Amino acid sequence: RRELVGRIRRNPLARAVRIDKLCLAGLEATLRLLREPERAAAEIPVLRMLALPAAAIGVRAEALAAALAAAFPDVPCTVEDGISEVGGGALPLQTLPTRLVALAPRGSAADLEGRLRRGTPPVLARIKGERILLDLRTVDPVEDASLQAALVRAVAAARASAEAR
């Protein structure tokens, strides 16, 4: 109703929650792109990540696990089936099959996870049963080398810290 719309417009909060021109431009560009599903899947990172089959993630996970095993032969590193949680928005409970890199550090998984999170670049991982789980679904393939380097640095630092105790 006209009266209610007028009251909303006059409310001081209306200005704070108003969408700006930059957000409108981004929304318009995204909506135009979504009119071409194949192009959208290729150009919108979230759609590209959601469409990744577990087998494609597994190939990259196997390569990362092999590199970590070569760098640290005494640290068990395997690839296993898992799930990616889509989360939030319209799909809060939706999951997708994935392949996970599972790393069992000699010391504390919490310590290694903290080192990964605080490292450069920061790496977000899950902990399950004293193992670090990494899902490459949300890692762009061009970032695989820097992820591997961050993991090697964190494992080496965790190892040095554990040996110093």
What would the mean pLDDT of 4-29 be, rounded to a whole number? 89
Matching residue, tokens 């080398």: 145
More confident of the two residues 111 and 163 = 111
Beta carbons of 80 and 102 less than 8 angstroms apart: yes
- Tokens standing for 58? 């597994």
- Tokens standing for 144? 């695989």
String of DSSP letters for 93-145: T-EEEEEEEEE--SS-HHHHHHHHHHSSS----EEETTEEEEEGGGS-GGGHH
Q: Rounded to 5 degrees, what angle do the CA atoms 110, 127, 143 make?
A: 95
- In angstroms, rounded to a whole number, what is the distance separating the alpha carbons of residues 51 and 137? 9
Q: What is the mean pLDDT of the chain?
A: 91
Provide the pairing of β-strand 126-128 with 131-135.
antiparallel
Q: Please tell me the predicted confidence (pLDDT) of residue 147.
A: 96
Of 6-10, 76-80, 85-89, 118-122, least confident by mean pLDDT is: 85-89
Q: Is the pLDDT of residue 35 over 80?
A: yes
Q: Is the pLDDT of residue 6 over 80?
A: yes
Interval 99-145: pLDDT, tens:
999 999 988 999 999 999 999 999 999 999 999 999 999 999 999 99
How far are the Cα atoms of 81, 127, 160 from residue 57, in angstroms, in the given order? 10, 19, 31
Q: Is the pTM of this model over 0.75?
A: yes
Q: Please tell me the predicted confidence (pLDDT) of residue 49.
A: 92
Q: Smallest Cα–Cα separation from 102: which of 79, 75, 129, 74?
A: 79
Q: Please tell me the predicted confidence (pLDDT) of residue 15.
A: 80
Q: Is the pLDDT of residue 81 over 90?
A: yes
